[in-house]
């Protein structure tokens, strides 16, 4: 079971998601996996996390957290330093917990903070002088002038000897751990090698807090790759079960696919640093010799194209669920795409928005998947990226196809084609009518 204090630290790391690099570092340190804390804490607004409020002062920047309530949460240990990353925080409530230690000085340096409630904790020591204008509501703390210095007691020689012996034991244990870790790759950093002479870079470095699985664990969770749920240029996707009950989708990279390796690399680069309720969540990965795999949450209701066409036994066109599914997809899917364009640093362009890449969960909420063709967008004021044209015929932006100049508008065009599919229930390219496009 997670320590409540570690949970607090993980929350603070995730709440700083507007600074994605900082969030990745903190999440990698403390690790958090809670269903109720998925996605961006502030957007979309209907899915804002409980216990916080956000404010958006400028449409060009992500919303900032102004109110954080973690009272009565069973928190222990010292007050987390990650709070100072919330630069626009105005109200902080940490009351009715078991926090210990002294009140940190960094809280008094947070210029926007106007109210702090830390009552009913085990904090001790003096209140920093700079807290004059802030309501502490904690009778267990004392003003600087009224706190008496602790009395020093003689330190017995026997105690020194005991501490020295314990320290020697700890050093020996740490030495053994260090030797063991030198023989075994770090769980947090995977140096992935891929034996393919056509790949320009044969080393893929993955730094992530996601769980690392062995290849034997991948075999076990997929029941020896028994059930295939999808195929693509990267390889095959299998259904799996984790911990005996959690369903996952396991994307295994084909060793014969050069394009698959490139998509694998792009998907890893993106999913290691983004997290949103309307993007398919990455659970973990496998990198063992030539075996590369990504493990995702399993999205059970298939993709949007299956539901629109009725293929795979997922026909909902003729029943009352059709309009519900279409509405859910319309309102949920765009928030994930907008997050890639505006919430990521640097911004991302998906490049392959289509109905087969929009998956539906148990409540038919849409999640964007398959980021193998995604590209980072420049943050220095440039209006486009010049790149080799990639995407799916029918969804491909004509201007991007003609000029090779990629912008976020290319995703917007593809999104418009998806909307036409949802509204008309017609295929993008009708093979029965001389390959007529849906816009014609």
- Residue 326: pLDDT band (50, 70, 90) is low
Distance CA 73, CA 190 (A): 34
In a domain? residue 38? yes
CATH number of residue 381's parent domain: 1.10.510.10
In a domain? residue 104? yes
- Containing 140, the helix (H) or strand (E) segment is none
- Residue 241: pLDDT band (50, 70, 90) is very high
In a domain? residue 179? no
Stretch among 139-148, 177-186, 396-405, 418-427 having the lowest mean pLDDT: 177-186
In a domain? residue 161? no
Give catalytic status of residue 93 as yes or no. no
For residue 166 the two structure tokens come to 């314990």
Phi and psi at residue 159, to the nearest 5°:
-65, -40
Q: For position 238, what pLDDT does the model report? A: 94
CA dihedral sign, ordered 314, 316, 319, 323: positive
Q: What is the mean pLDDT of residues 114-123?
A: 80
DSSP-derived 3-state class of residue 240: strand
Say whether both 14 and 141 belong to one domain.
yes
- Which residue positions form the known binding site? 251
Q: What is the pLDDT of residues 32-66, one digit of tens each?
A: 344 445 566 776 666 667 677 787 766 667 778 88
The closest of 264, 255, 260 to 204, measured between CA atoms, is 264
Say whether both 331 and 264 belong to one domain.
no
Say whether both 8 and 137 belong to one domain.
yes
**How many domains does one find in the chain?**
3
In a domain? residue 55? yes
Say if residue 222's pLDDT is above 90. yes
Say if residue 386's pLDDT is above 80. no
Last residue of a domain, one of 297, 327, 348: 297
Say whether both 240 and 311 belong to one domain.
no
Say whether both 402 and 354 belong to one domain.
yes
Q: For position 60, what pLDDT does the model report? A: 63
Q: Are strands 348-349 and 358-360 parallel, antiparallel or unpaired?
A: unpaired
DSSP 347-363: -EE-S---GGGEEE-TT
For residue 44 the two structure tokens come to 């979309």
Residue in the structure block whose two tokens are 């956000």 = 54
**Residue 317 vs residue 265, higher pLDDT:** 265
Say whether both 208 and 276 belong to one domain.
yes
**Residue 367 vs residue 175, higher pLDDT:** 367
- Which residue positions form the known binding site for ATP? 251
Say whether both 289 and 316 belong to one domain.
no
CATH number of residue 108's parent domain: 3.80.10.10
Last residue of a domain, one of 115, 130, 146: 146
Say whether both 310 and 419 belong to one domain.
yes
- Is the entire prediction scored with pTM above 0.75? no
Q: Are strands 91-93 and 64-69 parallel, antiparallel or unpaired?
A: parallel
Q: Which of 352, 361, 397, 411 is catalytic?
A: 352
Say if residue 156's pLDDT is above 70. no
Last residue of a domain, one of 264, 297, 330: 297
In a domain? residue 427? yes
Say whether both 271 and 323 belong to one domain.
no
Say whether both 338 and 411 belong to one domain.
yes
Say if residue 7's pLDDT is above 50. no
In a domain? residue 381? yes
**Residue 413 vs residue 127, higher pLDDT:** 413
Q: Please give the C-alpha separations between residue 351 and each of 39, 354, 371, 383, in angstroms, as whole numbers.
A: 21, 9, 8, 16
Distance CA 415, CA 373 (A): 16
Say whether both 248 and 136 belong to one domain.
no
Q: What is the pLDDT of residues 256-288, one digit of tens each?
A: 665 666 666 667 767 777 788 888 888 888 888
Stretch among 56-70, 291-305, 396-410 having the lowest mean pLDDT: 56-70
Q: For position 32, what pLDDT does the model report? A: 36
The closest of 408, 374, 407 to 391, measured between CA atoms, is 374
Q: Are strands 246-253 and 358-360 parallel, antiparallel or unpaired?
A: unpaired
Say whether both 97 and 213 belong to one domain.
no
CATH number of residue 256's parent domain: 3.30.200.20
Domain coverage including residue 355: 304-437
Stretch among 81-85, 246-250, 267-271 having the lowest mean pLDDT: 267-271
């Amino acid at each position: 079971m997670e320590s409540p204090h570690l949970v607090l630290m993980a929350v603070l790391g995730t709440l700083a998601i507007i600074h994605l690099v900082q969030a990745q570092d903190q999440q990698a340190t403390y690790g958090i996996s809670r269903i109720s804390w998925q996605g961006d804490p502030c957007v979309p607004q209907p899915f804002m996390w409980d216990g916080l409020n956000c404010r958006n002062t400028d449409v060009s920047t992500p919303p900032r957290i102004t109110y954080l309530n973690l009272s009565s949460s069973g928190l222990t240990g010292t007050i987390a330093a990650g709070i100072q990353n919330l630069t626009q925080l105005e109200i902080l409530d940490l009351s009715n917990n078991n926090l210990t230690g002294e009140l940190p000085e960094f809280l008094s340096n947070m210029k926007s903070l106007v109210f702090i409630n830390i009552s009913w904790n085990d904090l001790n020591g003096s209140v920093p002088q700079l807290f004059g204008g802030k309501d502490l509501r904690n009778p267990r703390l004392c003003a600087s002038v009224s706190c008496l210095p602790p009395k020093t007691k003689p330190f017995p020689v026997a105690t020194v000897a005991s501490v020295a012996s314990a320290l020697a034991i700890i050093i020996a244990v740490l030495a053994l751990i260090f030797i063991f870790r030198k023989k075994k790759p770090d769980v947090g950093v995977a140096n992935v090698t891929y034996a393919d002479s056509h790949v320009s870079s044969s080393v893929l470095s993955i730094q992530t807090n996601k769980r690392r699985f062995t290849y034997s664990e991948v075999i076990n969770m997929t029941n020896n790759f028994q059930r295939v749920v999808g195929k693509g240029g990267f390889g095959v996707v299998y259904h799996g079960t984790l911990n005996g009950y959690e369903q996952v989708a396991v994307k295994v990279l084909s060793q014969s696919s050069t394009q698959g390796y490139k998509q694998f690399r792009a998907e890893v680069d993106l999913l290691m640093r983004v997290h949103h309720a309307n993007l398919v969540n990455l659970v973990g990965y496998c990198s063992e010799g030539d075996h590369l795999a990504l493990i995702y949450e399993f999205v059970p209701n298939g993709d949007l194209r299956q539901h629109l066409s009725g293929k795979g036994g997922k026909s909902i066109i003729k029943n009352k669920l059709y309009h519900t599914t279409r509405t859910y997809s319309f309102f949920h899917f765009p928030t994930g795409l907008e997050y890639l364009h505006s919430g990521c640093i640097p911004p991302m362009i998906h490049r392959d928005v289509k109905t087969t890449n929009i998956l539906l969960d148990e409540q038919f909420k849409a999640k964007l998947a398959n980021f193998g063709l995604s590209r980072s967008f420049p943050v220095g004021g440039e209006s486009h990226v010049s790149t080799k044209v990639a995407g799916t015929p029918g969804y491909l932006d004509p201007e991007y196809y003609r000029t090779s100049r990629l912008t976020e508008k290319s995703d917007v065009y593809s999104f418009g084609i998806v909307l036409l599919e949802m509204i008309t229930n017609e295929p993008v390219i009708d093979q029965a009518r001389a390959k007529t496009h849906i816009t014609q």
